[in-house]
Amino acid sequence: MSKTSIEGIYTVAHNKERIFSFLSNMNNVSKCLKGLQDIKELSSNSLSSKIKISEGIIRGLFNIEASEKVENSSIIIYFKLYGTLGRAEGEIKIQLEEVESKNTKILYKADIEVKGLGATLAKKQISQIAEKILKDIFECFEQSFV
């Protein structure tokens, strides 16, 4: 078993309310998950699907279950990702902070626990892969508003 936490800030050129509305809906989040396929369930606050990941030595088709809730003006996304080499579970807490007239900082913290052979093989890459996936999602969000 391997546990990791990542946190960061991503700034977008849109107001806080617009970003919050977009991020607090799993229908929108799903559009920004690269490799998503075979969607079994999709609603405004949950997702059950498969996702193809090809990052570093982590390659393959994984089952993904995710849900989100709004709590004290934060968005929390809970997820489970599992495949033949193991599973990853965790949560991503997102807070928004308006910084100038039309810019918003997306502050995120993800706590991830990986179990199975994948935890042993990719221990060093887990944080890098998670950060890349989050960055891809935030870039997709920003491009969705153009």
* 34-65 pLDDT tens trace: 899 989 988 889 999 999 988 777 788 999 99
Is pLDDT above 90 for 131? no
Q: 37 Cβ partners below 8 Å, 6+ apart?
A: 49, 50, 51, 52, 61
Residue range(s) defining the domain that contains residue 67:
2-144
What CATH number is given to the structural domain containing 58? 3.30.530.20
% of the chain with per-residue pLDDT over 90: 32
Task: State if pTM tops 0.75.
Answer: yes
Structure tokens given for 57: 């030595």
- Number of domain units in the chain: 1
HEC string for 15-61? CHHHHHHHHCCHHHHHHCCCCEEEEEEECCCEEEEEEEEEECCEEEE
| pLDDT for 106 | 93
| Contacts of the segment 11-15: beta carbons below 8 A, 24+ positions apart | 11/99, 11/103, 11/104, 11/105, 11/106, 12/103, 12/104, 12/106, 12/138, 12/141, 12/142, 12/145, 13/102, 13/103, 13/142, 14/102, 14/103, 14/104, 14/142, 14/145, 15/98, 15/102, 15/104
Supply the mean pLDDT for the chain: 86
